[in-house]
Structure 1
Amino acid sequence: MAAKGVIKGIVTVAVIGALGAGGWFAYRHFVPEQSARTEKVYVQRVANVNAAGTGDLFANCFSGVIVAQKTVSVKYDTSKTIGEILVSEGDSVKKGDKLLTYNIEAIQIEIDTAKLEVEGLQNSIQTNEAEIAQLEKEKRTATGDAQVSYTTKILSLQSDNARSEYDIKTKNVEIAKLENSLNNAFVTAPIDGTVKELKDGAPDPMSENPDVIMKITADGDYRVQGTFNEQNAMSISKGAEVILRSRVDDTTRKGEISDIDEEPISQEDPYGMMRSDPMTSSSKYAFYVKPESLEGFRLGQHLVIEMDRGDEDEKRTGVWLYDSFVMWDGKENYVWAKNDRDRIEKRIVEIGEHDEERGESEIKSGLSPEDYIAVPADYIEAGMGTTTNFSEAEIPEDASGMPADGAYPADAVPGGEEADFDAAGNLVYTDGEGDVYTFDPEGELIDGEGKLFDEENAEADEAENEAENDG
């Protein structure tokens, strides 16, 4: 797309503004004066703001840090006797591999003992039921206090039977668990990894975790830990593909979200004090990325985690800038750039392709990644000093943050309208209907008629332009 088709001028705004607020503004819009200001303008290296290959500006991004691989504690049932440990320190294991077995004979003895207890309880119930039947028979022929005595004995035996029935249910649950243990009398690896810190199997009641028999560290040297909160939780899902981006250069790696913590990250400091009010602050959660490779990165390095939209392989090259950097002076596109005297200047650039969705333009010529540019603002004028230290930048108190006189954002006005200067230095403006208007250096209309001077139509055009820009 040609530059004028891609980057839209602001001529209509300039001319309408000139008619409403004075012709001098319209003329100065296209003829900026040299600056005598002493403020310094903050400039950034083009390579640092280059939109080529950086993905979607509005994509969900998360902060991350490279950490050691996941380590899982393997626990065993300390109420059972370990029969055999099947692995050694440093062994590589796969998820589901058997790590140790329990003593099956001990489990079988527990099962047999529990079954004998159930059998004894059942025999006791049968004996009591027979005795209750006999007491009921004798009670029918008894009189007076004798009947009361029979009733008391019967109720006592019925209570004993109810207690025995409950004990039988409890024992059957215990037997089912023991039989399940007998069928699964082993502990398996929860993840792929390497066996670490293997104990001899003798529980130490004084240790912090007496039931931990060993630890397994996941395969790979490192993984990436990221954080998210309640507001962006919907963007995180296990198995989602991501792009890992260095904060110091253009290095990228691909990865996949492997784990998501369900418990929030503790907000307590090392002294046990809350760092923020849990009722007013958003909870943060950790998630982990398994990278394809972390070559070129190091432990503890901070990076950006970006959701992979699948267009990384189609990464653009060259220089691409967000449209807010590119301006239009009525004739050419330009940016505010630092020259070789460390002064800000209007640098003419050639526009190539334009990405409407992302609001980015390709700079075909006029800038290199090593150049330095500034974000347009109302106080910037050619000849001002520059600085790469933001704290040294001097922004006037009356600065509005809008583009300076003589320049507006290049995407502010519909295309098809032209502004130029004739040999005498007069501003010549052609609107979308083909009507031509000429203004002298003082901003006074010299020649031209058309609906530009129809207030009602001018307002309609302005509304139409705003709607087109919003679209």
Structure 2
Amino acid sequence: MTLEQGNLELEKIGNSISNLNSQIAALTTEKKNAPAGEQLSYTTQIQELQTNVKQEEYNYKVKELEVNRTKKSLESSTVTSTIAGIIQEINPDPGYDDYSGEKQAFMSILSTGKYRIKGKISEQNIGELQPGMDVTVRARNNQEEIWKGSVDVIDTEKPESSSQSEMYSGSDSSARATKYPFYVTLETSDGLMLGQHVYIEPGTGVNTEGLHLMTAYIVDADGKEPYVWVANKKDRLEKRTVKLGAYDEEQDTWEITEGLKETDYIVWPDGECKEGAAVQKNENVQAGGMEEGE
């Protein structure tokens, strides 16, 4: 029952009660002038109508309770947005997401407050991110233009499948790796345009002269011959020995002093990495970069 239907039914019952009371009043007047032989008939009619009035009054109270419950249900179903913004899209008949099976949003709101950067990270690399982690955001067209921020949310409930890996891979399974969206809140968004594509890097960008690489990419970092998996000019996997410099404990990164250049493409080291294996490049990610965002 909708609230409108309930109110219409209440009005209908109220009109019925008024009509019955009018009939009772008319019969009562007629009874006063009726002969003695008709008094019983009038009394019976009046009592029957009075019984009908009581039944309708009961029906009114029951329907009134239903209407009040409907009102409370509607009041409690009001959802208040946690952000200030502009309604971007309303979907009056939301369906279900083909991938997650979850119901799609009824309304999309574009925040008018601080910008958040959306990035994607593969399931192999998701362990590198933690909520609250400091990151540096760089403009793609001018990497000297940077913004500071921190990881706000890592949405592991809504994975996205992709046909191309964010990283290098020598296996088809990695090329189809699942991606997870994450969001970065910026200290300031001055100079950043809505929808602008950027690079997202771990750390604050302070004291990072030279090439620094996260420990997870370096095999045997504590050994005598640490190495990384690199894609050579023929797009084949190559095991390359590197020389390590200073270790940054806070960012869990090593300075690479020899063996790797910023233009090199590196591969996530797993059991499937073999020398000579074919790899597929993602031109948006190179050594030292983490993820792309917008």
Q: Classify the TM-score, shorter chain.
A: 0.3 to 0.5
Flag the structure with more relative contact order, 1 or 2, with Cα contacts below 8 A and sequence separation at least 6: 1
TM-score normalized by structure 1?
A: 0.25
Q: Which has the larger radius of gyration?
A: 1
